[in-house]
Amino acid sequence: MSKNTKTEVEKFMRGLVKRNPGEIEFHQAVREVTESLMPLILDNPQYRKAQILERMTEPDRIIIFRVTWEDDEGNFRANRAWRVQFNNSIGPYKGGLRFHPSVTLSILKFLGFEQTFKNSLTGLPMGGGKGGSNFNPKGKSDHEVMRFCYSMMTELHRHIGEDTDIPAGDIGVGAREISFLFGQYKRMKNRFTGILTGKGLSFGGSSGRREATGYGCVYFCENMFKHRGESIEGKRCLISGSGNVAIYSIEKALEMGAKVLTFSDSSGFIYDPDGINQDKLAFLKDLKEVRRGRAHEYADKFKNAEFHAGKRPWNVPADIAFPCATQNEISKEEAETLIKNGIQAVSEGANMPTVLEGAHAFVNAKILFGPAKAANAGGVAVSGLEQSQNALRLSWDHREVDDRLKDIMRSIHAKCVEHGSDDDNFVNYVKGANIAGFIKVADAMLAYGAV
Ligand code: NDP
C-alpha cells in the first residue's frame, strides 16, 4: 500500500471509529474493505465526490426492539433484538438472523456491511441486511424457542416483506427457528409469501438451501485450486464448527475426495487421524442436528479420535483450512502456525473468521485465501434462488439448484480473479472480492443521486 493510500485509509478510519465508538467488529470489517478499495476510490473522483464509502458504511436504518417471552417455569424473560437494514441499492435487504448471547449491534453491523458486498458478488438482485438477538437457544426447550420466535416476529413482521427485507438463518437460527418465525408471520398477516428463506421443503423452502453455504465454500476452494491446475482431491482438511456450514462443508469435501481431520464446537475440537468418513458424518449429523449433543461424544464413539477441550484445530498440519464456526476464530498466531505447517488454502465458511493481521499474513504468504464474502456466498445465493422460486410459485429440483450454485461460485471466483490478479499471476481474493462487490453497489448509488 502506498504512503498516500495508507494516510487516506487512516483518515477515513478515524472518522468511522468516532462515529461508531466501541464497535470493534464493525471497525475491523470496514478497515479490511477500505484497505482494498482506497486505491480505486482515489483513482475515481466520482466515488470520492459522492462520498460513496462514507455512505456505504452508514446503514440505511437500524431497528432495535425488546422481545419478551415466557420460560417453561412461567417466568417473564426479555431479550434485545435488532434488524440492521444496511443497503438496498441493488435489491431488497437480505441477510440472516443470529441468535447467540454474544450478539451486539457491532456484530450485526459488521455482518450487514459484509453482506452488502457478498450479495452483490452473487450477481443476484439482493441488498444487504442482518439481524438477530442476544437470546441463547442452547439449553432452551422447543417450547421456549417457539415462544421466543413468536414474540420476535410479532415486532419484526412490521419491517420485513418479500420486496423489502427477507431474513434467513445464521448461528443459532436453523430449520426449527425459521419454521416458528414463518408460522407466526403467516398467522399474523394472513399471507403465504416468501418473507424468509431457509424454509422447510413442504412450505416454500428450496431444495439445496440447507447444504448451500458449505457446498459453495468447497466449490469456491476447488475453483481456487483449479485456477492453478490442481484439485482438492486427496488434500487434508481442517474444519472448525459443527453447525450447518461445517457439516455440509465436510459432506462436500468428502464427496470430492478430500480427507477431513477435524471439526469443533464451542467446547473444543475433535482430531480424527483416520479422517471422517460417511458413517462418521452420519453420526455427527445425528449428534448435532437431531440430538443437539457435544463434540466429545464423537471421541467417545470413535476411539482413535481425540477431543481437545477448549482448543481450536489450527495447530494440526494440513493442506486446507475451512473455518466454519464464528468470527475471529483464527488469531494472527494461529494464521502463522497454519502457514508454517504448509497450509495451501483457506476458504472461509464463517463470516470474518480470521483476524485482520491473520488475513494479511495469508495474503503475504501468497496462499489461496478465499475471504468469507466470496467463499461463503453460496448460502445467500441459494436463498436468492428460493426467493425466485417463491415468486414463480415453482420449485426446482436439487440438481437444478446445485448446478446454479456451482455456476454462481464459478462466476464469483472469476470476478475475484478479474479484480484481484497481480502482475505475477497471484490472485489476491480479498482485493478482488471487495472491488467486484463494491463497484455494482457504488454505481447504483451514484445513479440514484443524493439518496
Ligand atoms: P450454526 O449455529 O449452525 O453452527 C455454529 C457452529 O459454530 C457450532 O458448532 C457452534 O458451536 C460454533 N460456534 C459458534 N460460536 C462459537 C464460538 N464463539 N466459539 C467456538 N465455536 C462457536 O451456525 P452456521 O453454521 O449457520 O454459521 C456458522 C458461520 O457461518 C457463522 O459465521 C455464520 O455467520 C456463517 N454463515 C452462515 C450461513 C448459513 O447459511 N447458515 C451463510 C453464510 C455464512 P456450539 O454449538 O458449541 O455453539
CA dist 127 and 382 (Å) reads 15
Q: What's the whole-number mean pLDDT along residues 135-164?
A: 98
Residue 130 known to be catalytic: yes
Mutate to test the pocket of ligand 1, among 116, 265, 308, 383 (most ligand atoms within 8 A of CB): 265
- CA–centroid distance, residue 170 to ligand 1 (Å): 7
Alpha carbon of 354 to ligand 1 centroid (Å): 14
Q: In what helix (H) or strand (E) does residue 438 lie, and over which residues does it extend? A: helix 429-448
Cα–Cα nearest to 224, from 416, 363, 378: 416
Residue extents of the structural domains in the chain: 61-191, 210-370
Q: What is the pLDDT of residues 154-178, one digit of tens each?
A: 999 999 999 999 999 999 999 999 9
CB-based pocket (< 6 A), ligand 1:
169-172, 174, 213, 241-246, 265-267, 324-326, 349-351, 376, 379
pLDDT band at residue 18, thresholds of 50, 70 and 90?
A: very high
Tell the residue number behind the cell numbers 459432506, with chain if given: 251
Q: How far is the centre of ligand 1, averaged over its atoms, from the C-alpha of 349 (Å)?
A: 9
Domain 210-370 has CATH 3.40.30.10: no
Residues 128-149: what's their mean pLDDT? 97
pLDDT at residue 212, rounded to an integer: 98
- Please check the confidence at residue 70 and state whether its pLDDT lies above 90: yes
The mean pLDDT of 83-105, rounded to a whole number, is: 98
Q: Residue 1: is its pLDDT beyond 90?
A: no
Residue owning the nearest CA to atom 27 of ligand 1: 171
φ, ψ of residue 142 to 5 degrees: the values are: -55, -40
Percent of the chain with pLDDT over 70: 100
Instruction: Name which residue sits closest to atom 44 of ligand 1, judged by CA.
Output: 350
Identify the residue whose cell numbers are 456466498.
377
Residue-level pLDDT at 451? 93
User: Please, what's the b/e burial string for 318-337 (b: 16 or more CB within 10 A of its CB; e: otherwise)?
Assistant: bbbbbbbbbbbbbeeebbbb
* Per-residue model confidence as pLDDT tens digits over 177-200: 999 999 999 999 999 999 999 999
**What is the residue-averaged pLDDT of the chain?**
97
The protein residue whose alpha carbon is closest to atom 17 in ligand 1 is 266
* Ligand 1 mutation target, pool 84, 121, 297, 326, most atoms within 8 A of CB: 326
193 alpha carbon – ligand 1 mean position (Å): 27
Residue with CA closest to ligand 1 atom 40: 379
Please report the pLDDT score of residue 423 as a whole number.
83
Q: Atom 33, ligand 1: which residue's CA is nearest?
A: 350
pLDDT tens for residues 282-337?
999 999 999 999 999 999 999 999 999 999 999 999 999 999 999 999 999 999 99
Whether 210-370 and 61-191 are alike in CATH topology: the answer is: yes
End-to-end CA distance of the chain: give it in Å, rounded: 32
pLDDT at 360: 98
Which strands form 259-265's sheet, in the order they lie side by side?
306-309, 268-271, 259-265, 236-239, 320-322, 345-347, 368-370
pLDDT score of 375 = 98
DSSP states along 26-50: HHHHHHHHHHHHHHHHHH-HHHHHT
- CA atoms of 234 and 251, how far apart (whole Å): 15
User: Does domain 61-191 fall into CATH 3.90.79.10?
Assistant: no
CA R_g for the chain: 21
* Cα-to-centroid distance, 195 and ligand 1 (Å): 23
pLDDT of residue 131: 98
What's the whole-number mean pLDDT along residues 272-291? 97
Q: What does the pLDDT read at residue 313?
A: 98
Mean pLDDT, residues 357-365 taken together: 98
Q: pLDDT tens for residues 362-395? A: 999 999 999 999 999 999 999 999 999 999 999 9
Annotated catalytic residue, options 130, 235, 415, 431: 130
Report the pLDDT value the prediction gives residue 291, as an integer from 0 to 100: 94
Q: Give 422 Cα–ligand 1 centroid separation in angstroms.
A: 33
Residue 138 banded pLDDT, cuts 50, 70, 90: very high
